[in-house]
């Protein structure tokens, strides 16, 4: 771990110009907001209303004159994931990619369909996810406990 990496503990979020990292996502959702020189990362489940925390982090970025250019959404819970997408749409923030594993269901998809989805679903239940955001390069990396890293932006 880079000593400059900001760690986001559950429940929480952070904004930084350096790398941001969080782990232990199961049913939680991550929203990555990418600005010109900074990024934001959230780690919440549905116990905290997405309309509250997501709007607040967007507002904090705007106060730093860094309106998010785009977002990447990573989720375990489909309801939470869809709420985040609606909030981002209302705020005018395009979602450029995402990953959803539906931890509470086993999607019946073939390997070909799985590989073709932009918002991917994993047929393995209870997959732990880690998210690393590198604002400088606009990279969003997700590691799933039983699979390799994947780059979402």
Contact 21, 1 (CB under 8 A): yes
Q: What is the pLDDT of residues 67-94, one digit of tens each?
A: 999 999 999 899 999 999 999 999 999 9
Looking up tokens 């073709």 gives 116
In the numeric block, which tokens belong to residue 135? 């604002």
Q: Give the pLDDT confidence of 36-71 residue by residue, as tens digits.
A: 999 999 999 999 999 999 999 999 999 999 999 999
How far is it, in rounded angstroms, from Cα 55 to Cα 83?
12
CA distance 144 to 132: 12
Residue with tokens 């880079």: 2
Q: What pairing do the DSSP bridges indicate for beta strands 129-134 and 119-120?
A: unpaired
Q: Inform me whether the pLDDT recorded for 30 exceeds 50.
A: yes
What does pTM read for this prediction?
0.83
Beta bridge partners of 14: 41
């Amino acid at each position: 771990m880079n000593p400059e990496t900001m760690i986001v503990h559950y429940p929480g979020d952070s904004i930084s110009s350096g790398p941001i990292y969080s782990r232990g996502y199961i049913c939680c959702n991550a929203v990555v907001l990418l600005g010109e020189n900074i990024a934001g990362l959230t780690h919440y489940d549905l116990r905290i209303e997405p309309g509250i925390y997501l709007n607040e982090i967007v507002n904090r970025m705007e106060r730093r004159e860094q309106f998010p250019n785009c977002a990447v959404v990573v989720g375990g819970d489909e309801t939470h994931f869809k709420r985040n997408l609606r909030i981002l749409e209302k705020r005018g923030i395009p979602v450029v990619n995402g990953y959803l594993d539906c931890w509470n269901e086993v999607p019946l998809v073939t390997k070909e369909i799985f590989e073709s989805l932009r918002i991917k679903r994993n047929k393995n239940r209870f997959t732990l996810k880690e998210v690393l955001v590198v604002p400088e390069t606009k990279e969003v990396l997700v590691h799933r406990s039983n699979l390799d890293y994947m780059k979402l932006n």
